[in-house]
């Protein structure tokens, strides 16, 4: 309830969500056009104290969320960011979800209705008018807790406006023929690595992203997500963090 109240103060429309990410209130679409009253929020969480919090996206909250739910999609967005800063992806408030990331952007004006859309090729969803997202500190069905990326918390990071590139990317297929395309990285991201090769794979991927100009925190978040979803078994998070830091240090010494 406290988190829901904080999001309301931020100007967002909120609803309670169950552990399977469904709205707990049957009439949740009502809150696409109006904000819940403080008394309604108190009533919800008194009735369902274990519910998480959902944020309604679209004009009611002035919010569009880019949902990146696979290492491949994270890789593509990282490449776009590193290759050409005119994409305007920037460093928006970012949430680590059970499967990937949520990037929080301000709803754009002058482009018509930004609704929900899906790009199955990229594993990238746009949550806009008519949608909602599960927000921290809710718990994902996997048992993982939604949490803000370090230094990208909503409370200390301004929301940039949704870059127009995402409205283009959602209808574009990633053919693997861009100049930056690297088959070894694509295969590694898709297949993961078993015992015996995980540390080397983490180091190679970290080096790849560092050379693209990404910061240490960004590299760690991308590689950590890939490790947890694709490697069997995953490396401990501390080993991933140490390896990324080591590769970053080598890069700085060599530059």
pTM value? 0.68
Phi, psi dihedrals of residue 219, rounded to the nearest 5°? -60, -45
pLDDT at 84 over 60: no
Residue 182 has a pLDDT of 61
- Encode pLDDT of 119-142 as tens digits: 665 668 889 998 999 999 999 888
170 touches 126 (CB < 8 A): yes
DSSP assignment of 115-130, as one string? B-EEETTTTEEEE-BT
Side-chain-facing half-sphere of 26: CA atoms under 13 Å: 0
For the stretch 103-127, what's the b/e string if a residue is b when 16 or more beta carbons lie within 10 angstroms of its beta carbon?
Answer: bbbebbeeeeebebeebebbbbbbb
Distance CA 245, CA 231 (A): 20
Rounded to the nearest integer, the mean pLDDT of the chain is 83
Distance CA 7, CA 1 (A): 10
For the chain, list the strands marked E by DSSP: 13-17, 52-56, 63-68, 94-96, 101-106, 117-119, 124-127, 132-135, 147-148
Q: Give the chain's count of helices (H) and strands (E).
A: 8, 9
- Encode pLDDT of 147-170 as tens digits: 998 788 888 778 888 887 776 433
């Amino acid at each position: 309830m406290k988190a829901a109240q904080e999001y309301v103060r931020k100007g967002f429309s909120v609803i309670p969500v169950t552990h399977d990410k469904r709205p707990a209130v049957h009439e949740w679409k009502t809150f696409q056009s109006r904000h819940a009253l403080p008394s309604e929020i108190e009533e919800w969480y008194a009735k369902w104290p274990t519910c998480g919090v959902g944020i309604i996206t679209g004009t009611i909250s002035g919010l569009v969320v880019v949902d990146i739910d696979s290492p491949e999609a994270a890789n593509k967005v990282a490449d776009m960011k590193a290759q050409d800063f005119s994409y305007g992806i920037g460093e928006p408030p970012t949430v680590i979800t059970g499967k990937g990331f949520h990037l929080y952007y301000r709803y754009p004006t002058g482009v018509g209705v930004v609704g929900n859309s899906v790009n199955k090729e990229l594993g990238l969803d746009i949550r806009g008018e008519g949608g909602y997202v599960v927000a921290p500190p809710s718990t994902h069905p996997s048992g993982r807790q939604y949490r803000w990326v370090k230094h990208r918390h909503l409370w200390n990071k301004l929301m940039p406006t949704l870059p127009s590139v995402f409205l283009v990317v959602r209808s574009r297929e990633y053919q693997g023929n861009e100049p930056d395309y690297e088959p070894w990285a694509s295969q590694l991201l898709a297949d993961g690595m078993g015992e015996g090769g995980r540390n080397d794979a983490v180091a190679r991927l970290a080096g790849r992203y560092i050379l693209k100009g990404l910061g240490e925190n960004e590299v760690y978040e991308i590689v950590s997500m890939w490790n947890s979803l694709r490697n069997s078994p995953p490396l401990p998070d501390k080993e991933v963090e140490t390896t990324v830091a080591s590769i970053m240090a080598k890069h700085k010494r060599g530059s």
